């Protein structure tokens, strides 16, 4: 039973008692308000007890106990909120057992346990054999049809249908595939990130790139949900880069469906599938190249492999701001500026705050970031006391502006400003929605703390959900905090710089961020890097000479061994990868634990770090060199913009891939718990794999 009135217990009292209580200063009202808070706690607990009866609504900690009632055992319980859960596996256990051993169940099992999209291939079905006339398989031919180019592209992929000769090596080692007892489970580790209405990057003339930074980023599929557990995944159901021939043959599914991989808007009008041509644009920089010839009604030509498109002859090239695209890219996880859900990490409240909405379509309070910053600077400077504010960018477009000079963001004493990309909202709303939003700033950003030097409460700036193609600079002054959360300061195009000798109360925090080089003056006292990528491959150093530095679950890149990370004090470095020397001046305090770093680094005491742990007791110089080479982390890509950027490869040393404190991988993607997911899948396969068959796991990306 509930009442809308918050003082429901007090309202239950007869009116005479409430009148007498009012005459005595309302002590009874105060007492009942305390009792009511405890009543609400009990009610909430009772509601939770009811919800915990059902796997769909049970608390995460209770899922292993429900699974135990069904005999679901021997699986890791992984603490990675919002990334991984055993809920689907426990919920579908009975369905698995009803169809035990079938490819569809094995596929659903892999999907539910790991959270990765999966496809099961029975390799014995692809063996080239002499066929029994009473059991013909027309598709299983020893010589493939060379005219079926689309099928030839899929050779040795998860969707291969061409017959092969037998391989006798064991499939569990991923050395052999096509044999009588073999079943392969293909897994896609990358995720697809669709982002709506962004500004493509002009490349001259009629040429454009889908990526707003002008990078050749492949177009990823936006996976469709499979209709039921009996369905075997197709290319449309998995998050992978789209092939040209696949997009040509199924163009309506990729650009004309309810969840398209790409959309094009010219002058506010969306192009239909018939107006889009799919072709090869990888050679458009060659001399003598000319745009493809359009067929009737075609307006643009797109290349999904390179992420390029051109406006076809016969259609005027749109003016600046008249062309937008929606696209889908691939990446390992929710790190850097991206369109994923950031509602749990952003301060979403708008109550009592100064609010400036920025939108290029005129629906906001400001049309430019410079105007919004000017509005904030005026409001914060005129405030009698500390002011909290939000500059909310409510579209995903590119803002080619420099927030420097007179447009520098000013943070007065005891003021806090959030600069974030969010969904459009009305001023009557009280909460922000940061799901699906990412804005692009093509320019430099400068912030200045204007609090007096003696102030104990300098202000703070938080930047969330932005893609910054420029330098973030902290001017001389007194700034208390700079927080970069879920933000990218594009490597080799930008950096974070705090060059002044002031800001002696400044605490710089990077959380789930990607950033180029970091350079701080001696006066900056604290730098914290959490689950982030610091990419100094452009020649910059990570310099924080006077700071107390904390680096947890992060990856730091440099040119071979030339990355320099000099710092006065390292409070803690944990579960991180340093692709360069770490030089700490004061080594009497602090610790480095579960990290990879070159063994010539100068650090505080180390605990279970690599390659130290394996080199311990090895004295032979040749053996030590071989160990160092084997243990050097190997990445799918070190180029920002590639889908596999900063992702450890499958051939990377097992000591690195399982070297974190809880057995997950070192580096920025520790939180994904990928080794535990793989281990759980192996454990479950023992129950559901048919007798006599052997499984192998193959990671597609």
* Tokens representing residue 281 in the block: 């644009």
> Cα-atom radius of gyration of the chain, to the nearest Å?
29
Identify whether 643 is part of a domain: no
Answer yes or no: do 392 and 277 share one domain. no
Q: Is the pLDDT of residue 3 over 50?
A: no
Q: What pLDDT is attached to residue 207?
A: 92
Q: Is the pLDDT of residue 193 over 90?
A: yes
Identify whether 682 is part of a domain: no
Closest among 357, 523, 370, 347 to 449, alpha carbons compared: 523
Q: pLDDT for 455-494, tens place per residue?
A: 888 999 999 999 999 999 999 989 999 999 999 999 988 8
| Band (646; pLDDT cuts 50, 70, 90) | very high
End-to-end CA distance of the chain: 53
Structural element, H or E, at residue 207: strand 207-209
C-alpha to C-alpha distances, 375 to 213, 360, 417, 531, nearest whole angstrom: 28, 16, 12, 33
Q: What pLDDT is attached to residue 561?
A: 54
What is the rounded CA–CA span in Å between residue 557 and residue 541? 10
Would you mind telling me the total number of residues written for the chain in this entry?
A: 701
What is the rounded CA–CA span in Å between residue 667 and residue 659? 9
In this structure, are residues 489 and 467 in contact, taking their beta carbons and an 8 Å threshold? no
More reliable by pLDDT, 104 or 324? 324
Mean pLDDT of 580-590: 82
Which of residues 566, 585, 615 is at a domain's end? 615
Q: Is the pLDDT of residue 93 over 80?
A: no
Answer yes or no: do 317 and 364 share one domain. no
How many domains does the structure of the chain reveal? Answer: 4
| Band (259; pLDDT cuts 50, 70, 90) | confident
Q: What pLDDT is attached to residue 46?
A: 84
Answer yes or no: do 482 and 601 share one domain. yes
In this structure, are residues 331 and 220 in contact, taking their beta carbons and an 8 Å threshold? no
Answer yes or no: do 379 and 479 share one domain. yes
Q: At what angle do helices 674-688 and 103-114 cross, to 10 degrees?
A: 150
Q: Is the pLDDT of residue 541 over 70?
A: no
What is the rounded CA–CA span in Å between residue 221 and residue 260? 8
Answer yes or no: do 41 and 136 share one domain. no
What is the percent of the chain with per-residue pLDDT over 70, rounded to a whole number? Answer: 95
Q: What pLDDT is attached to residue 82?
A: 61
Identify whether 637 is part of a domain: no
Q: How many CB atoms lie within 10 A of CB 362?
A: 6
Mean pLDDT of 224-248: 87
In this structure, are residues 666 and 328 in contact, taking their beta carbons and an 8 Å threshold? no
Answer yes or no: do 67 and 181 share one domain. yes
- What is the layout of strands, in order, in the sheet containing 323-331? 191-198, 323-331, 263-266, 269-270
Q: What pLDDT is attached to residue 563?
A: 58
Answer yes or no: do 360 and 455 share one domain. yes
What is the rounded CA–CA span in Å between residue 424 and residue 199? 17
Q: What pLDDT is attached to residue 517?
A: 83
What is the rounded CA–CA span in Å between residue 678 and residue 473? 42
More reliable by pLDDT, 100 or 681? 681
Q: pLDDT for 504-535, tens place per residue?
A: 888 999 999 999 888 887 778 888 999 999 98
Identify whether 180 is part of a domain: yes
C-alpha to C-alpha distances, 435 to 42, 465, 468, nearest whole angstrom: 33, 10, 19
H helices of 52-148, in order, are 63-69, 87-91, 93-98, 103-114
Identify whether 630 is part of a domain: no
Beta bridge partners of 496: 472, 518
Q: What pLDDT is attached to residue 2?
A: 41
In which residue are the tokens 């742990």 written? Answer: 613
| Band (540; pLDDT cuts 50, 70, 90) | low
Answer yes or no: do 274 and 167 share one domain. no
* Tokens representing residue 322 in the block: 């008249």
Q: Is the pLDDT of residue 4 over 50?
A: no
Q: Is the pLDDT of residue 594 over 70?
A: yes
More reliable by pLDDT, 20 or 368? 368
Identify whether 628 is part of a domain: no
Answer yes or no: do 201 and 275 share one domain. yes
Q: 190-218: buried (b, 16+ CB within 10 Å) or exposed (e) per residue?
A: bbbbbbeebbbbeeeebbbbbbbbbbbbb
Answer yes or no: do 203 and 244 share one domain. yes
Answer yes or no: do 29 and 143 share one domain. no
| Band (1; pLDDT cuts 50, 70, 90) | very low
More reliable by pLDDT, 548 or 213? 213
- Whole domain around residue 97: which residue ranges? 60-189+690-699
Q: Is the pLDDT of residue 75 over 80?
A: no
Q: How many CB atoms lie within 10 A of CB 165?
A: 9
| Band (340; pLDDT cuts 50, 70, 90) | very high
In this structure, are residues 591 and 569 in contact, taking their beta carbons and an 8 Å threshold? no
Which of residues 600, 615, 630 is at a domain's end? 615
Answer yes or no: do 214 and 318 share one domain. yes
Identify whether 674 is part of a domain: no
Identify whether 365 is part of a domain: yes
More reliable by pLDDT, 57 or 614? 614
Q: Is the pLDDT of residue 161 over 90?
A: no
Q: Is the pLDDT of residue 321 over 50?
A: yes
Which of residues 596, 615, 634 is at a domain's end? 615
């Amino acid at each position: 039973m509930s009442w809308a009135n918050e003082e429901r217990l007090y309202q239950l009292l007869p009116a005479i008692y409430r009148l007498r209580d009012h005459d005595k200063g309302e002590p009874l009202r105060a007492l009942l308000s305390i009792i009511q808070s405890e009543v609400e706690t009990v009610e909430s607990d009772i509601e939770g007890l009811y919800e915990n009866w059902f796997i769909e609504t049970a608390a995460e900690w209770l899922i292993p106990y429900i699974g135990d009632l069904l005999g679901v055992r021997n699986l890791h319980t992984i603490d990675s909120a919002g990334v991984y859960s055993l809920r689907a596996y426990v919920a579908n256990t009975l369905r698995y057992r009803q169809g035990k051993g079938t490819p569809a169940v094995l596929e659903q099992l892999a999907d539910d346990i790991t959270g990765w999209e999966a496809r099961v291939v029975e390799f014995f079905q692809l063996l080239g054999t002499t066929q029994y006339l009473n059991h013909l398989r027309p598709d299983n031919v020893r010589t493939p049809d060379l005219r079926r180019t689309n099928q030839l592209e899929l050779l040795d992929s998860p969707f291969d249908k061409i017959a092969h000769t037998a391989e006798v090596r064991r499939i569990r080692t991923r050395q052999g595939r096509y044999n009588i007892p073999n079943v392969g489970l293909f897994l896609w580790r990358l995720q697809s990130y669709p982002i709506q209405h962004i500004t493509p990057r002009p490349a001259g003339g009629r040429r454009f790139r889908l990526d707003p930074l002008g990078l050749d980023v492949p177009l990823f599929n936006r996976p469709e949900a499979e209709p039921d557990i009996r369905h075997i995944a197709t290319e449309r159901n998995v998050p992978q880069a789209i092939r040209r021939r696949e997009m040509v043959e199924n163009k309506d599914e990729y650009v004309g469906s309810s969840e398209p991989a790409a959309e094009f808007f010219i002058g506010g009008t969306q192009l239909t599938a018939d107006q889009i041509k799919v072709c090869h644009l990888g050679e458009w920089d060659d001399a003598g190249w000319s745009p493809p010839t359009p067929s009737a009604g075609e307006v643009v030509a797109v290349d999904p492999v390179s992420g390029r498109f051109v406006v076809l002859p016969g259609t005027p090239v749109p003016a600046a701001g008249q062309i937008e695209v929606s696209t889908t890219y691939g990446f390992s996880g929710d790190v850097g500026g991206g369109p994923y859900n950031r509602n749990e990490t952003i301060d979403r409240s708008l109550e009592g705050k100064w609010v400036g909405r920025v939108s290029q379509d005129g629906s906001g309070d400001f049309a430019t970031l410079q105007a919004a910053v000017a509005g904030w600077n005026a409001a914060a400077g005129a405030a009698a006391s500390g002011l909290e504010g939000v500059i909310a960018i409510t579209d995903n477009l590119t803002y080619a502006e420099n927030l420097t000079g007179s447009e520098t963001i000013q943070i007065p004493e005891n003021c806090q400003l959030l600069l974030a990309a969010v969904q459009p909202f009305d001023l009557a709303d009280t909460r922000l929605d940061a799901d699906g939003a990412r804005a692009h700033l093509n320019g430099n950003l400068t912030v200045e703390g204007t609090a007096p030097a003696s102030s104990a409460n300098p202000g703070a700036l938080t930047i969330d959900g932005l893609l910054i193609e420029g330098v973030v600079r902290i001017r001389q002054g007194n700034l208390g905090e700079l927080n970069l959360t879920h933000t990218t300061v594009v490597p080799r195009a930008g950096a974070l710089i705090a060059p002044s000798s002031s800001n002696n109360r400044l605490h710089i925090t990077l959380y789930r961020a990607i950033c180029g080089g970091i350079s701080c003056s001696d006066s900056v006292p604290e730098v914290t890097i959490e689950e982030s990528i610091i990419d100094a491959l452009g020649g910059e150093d990570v310099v924080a000479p006077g700071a107390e530095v904390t680096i947890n679950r992060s990856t730091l890149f440099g040119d071979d061994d030339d990355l320099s990370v000099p710092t006065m004090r390292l409070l803690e470095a944990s579960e991180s990868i340093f692709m360069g020397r770490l030089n700490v001046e004061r080594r009497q305090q602090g610790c480095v634990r579960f990290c990879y770093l070159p063994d010539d680094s100068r650090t505080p005491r180390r605990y279970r770090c690599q390659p130290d742990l394996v080199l311990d007791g090895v004295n032979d110089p040749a053996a030590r060199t071989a160990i160092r080479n084997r243990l050097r982390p190997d990445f799918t890509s070190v180029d920002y913009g590639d889908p596999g950027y900063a992702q450890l490869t499958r051939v990377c040393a097992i000591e690195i891939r399982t070297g974190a404190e809880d057995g997950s991988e070192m580096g920025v993607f520790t939180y994904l718990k990928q080794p535990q997911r793989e281990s759980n899948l192996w454990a479950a396969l023992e129950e559901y794999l048919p007798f006599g068959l052997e499984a192998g796991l193959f990671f597609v990306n």
